[in-house]
Structure 1
Amino acid sequence: MTTTDPRENILRRLRRHPLGTLCMAAILIFMSACGSGGGGTEAPSAQTGDFPTVNPDGGPPAGNPDGTAPIPAEANLEDVTAPDRIVGDGTPESCSAEAFIDAVARGGTIVFDCGPDPVTITLPEPARVFNDADPDIVIDGGGLVSLSGGGLTRLLYMNTCDEDQVWTTDHCQNQDHPRLTVQNLTFVNGNATAETEYDGGGAIWVRGGRFKAVNCRFFNNVCADEGPDVGGGAIRVFSQYEGLPVYIVNCTFGGAEGYGNLGSNGGAISSIGVSWTLINSLFSYNSAVGYGANPAQSGTPGGGSGGAIYNDGNTMTLTVLGSRIAYNDVNAHGSAIFFVSNDHTGDIVIDDSSITDNIGGSWYPVYDGISMHSDTPITVSDSVIENNS
Structure 2
Amino acid sequence: MIGKGTPAGCTSKAVVAAVAAGGIITFDCGPAPVTITMSATAKVRNTSTRVVLDGGGLVTLSGGGKRRILYQNTCDKAQVWTTSHCDDQQYPQLVVQNLTFADGNSTGDDTEGGGGGAIFARGGQLKVYNAKFVRNRCDRTGPDLGGAAIRALDQWGDRPVYVTRSTFGGAKGQGGVCANGGALSSIGVSWVVLNSLFSHNDAVGRGANPAKAGTPGGGSGGAIYLDGNTFTLRLAGTIIQDNHANEGGGAVFFVSNDRTGTMSIEDSTLRRNPSDGFETYPGIFFLGARKPSVTGSTLR
Considering the TM-score relative to the shorter chain, is it more than 0.5? yes
Q: How many residues align?
A: 299
Answering whether residue 241 of structure 2 is matched by residue 356 of structure 1, we say no
- Aligned-pair CA distance for 1:359: 1.8
Answering whether residue 31 of structure 2 is matched by residue 116 of structure 1, we say yes
Aligned equivalents of 1:163, 1:374: Cα separation in 2: 35
1:174 matched residue in structure 2 = 88
- Aligned-pair CA distance for 1:372: 1.2
- For residues 171-320 of structure 1, the aligned pairs below 5 Å read 171-198=85-112, 199-320=114-235
Answering whether residue 239 of structure 2 is matched by residue 324 of structure 1, we say yes
Q: 5+ unaligned residues in a row in structure 2: which ranges?
A: none
Task: Determine helix, strand or coil for the equivalent of 2:253.
Answer: strand
The one-letter amino acid of 1:265's match is N
Match of 1:142 among 56, 77, 88: 56
State, as a whole percentage, how many aligned pairs show the same letter.
54
TM-score by length of structure 2 reads 0.98
2:2 matched residue in structure 1 = 87
Contact 1:361 1:369 in 2 (8 A): no
Point out the structure with the larger helix share.
1
Runs of 4+ in 1 over 6 A off after TM superposition: none
- Aligned-pair CA distance for 1:373: 1.9
- Aligned-pair CA distance for 1:150: 0.5
Contact 1:346 1:377 in 2 (8 A): no
Answering whether residue 21 of structure 2 is matched by residue 106 of structure 1, we say yes
Aligned equivalents of 1:266, 1:190: Cα separation in 2: 15
Contact 1:212 1:247 in 2 (8 A): yes
State the superposition RMSD in angstroms: 0.9
Aligned equivalents of 1:252, 1:374: Cα separation in 2: 27
Aligned equivalents of 2:288, 2:145: Cα separation in 1: 24
Aligned equivalents of 2:288, 2:80: Cα separation in 1: 42
Contact 1:362 1:371 in 2 (8 A): no
The one-letter amino acid of 1:127's match is A
- Aligned-pair CA distance for 1:194: 2.4
Answering whether residue 297 of structure 2 is matched by residue 383 of structure 1, we say yes
Contact 2:256 2:288 in 1 (8 A): no
Aligned equivalents of 1:267, 1:305: Cα separation in 2: 9
Q: 5+ unaligned residues in a row in structure 1: which ranges?
A: 1-85
- Aligned-pair CA distance for 1:368: 1.6
The one-letter amino acid of 2:6's match is T
TM-score by length of structure 1 reads 0.76
- For residues 59-78 of structure 1, the aligned pairs below 5 Å read none
Answering whether residue 46 of structure 2 is matched by residue 131 of structure 1, we say yes
Partner deviation per Cα, 1:111-136 (whole Å, 9 max, x = no partner)? 0000000000000111000001x301
Point out the structure with the larger strand share.
2
Match of 1:371 among 281, 285, 289: 285
Larger radius of gyration: 1
